[in-house]
Amino acid sequence: MFEKQQDATCYVRKYSQPDLFITITTNPKWPVIFDNLLENQQPHDRPDLIVRGFKQKLNKAMTLMKFGCFGTLQAWLYSIEFQKRGLPYAHTLLWVKKDAKIQPDLIDRVVCAEIPNKEQDKELHSIITTQMINGSCGHLNPTSPFMKDGRSSKKFPMPFQPQTKVGIEQATYREACIAHGLLEQDNAHQMTLQDASVSHQPQSLRSLFAIILVQAQPTNSKELWNEFEFSLCEDFIHQSLSRDQAKNLALIHIEEMIYSMNGKALETFGLPSTDHEASARCGMAIEA
Question: What average pLDDT is seen over the chain?
Answer: 83
Q: What is the pLDDT of residues 162-182, one digit of tens each?
A: 665 556 777 666 677 767 766
Quote the pLDDT of residue 138: 67
Contact 18, 215 (CB under 8 A): no
Quote the pLDDT of residue 162: 62
Residue type, 166: V
Sequence-distant (6+) residues with CB within 8 A of 224 are 186, 189, 190, 193, 209, 212, 218
Is 154's pLDDT higher than 80?
no
Contact 173, 157 (CB under 8 A): no
Domain boundaries, the chain: 2-102, 187-281
Quote the pLDDT of residue 155: 74
pLDDT class of 281 with cuts at 50, 70, 90: low
Is 287's pLDDT higher than 50?
no
CA distance 85 to 44: 9
Quote the pLDDT of residue 148: 81
Q: What is the pLDDT of residues 60-114, one digit of tens each?
A: 999 999 988 888 999 999 999 998 778 999 999 999 988 888 877 778 778 877 8
pLDDT above 70: percentage of residues in the chain: 85
Sequence-distant (6+) residues with CB within 8 A of 41 are none
Contact 186, 220 (CB under 8 A): yes
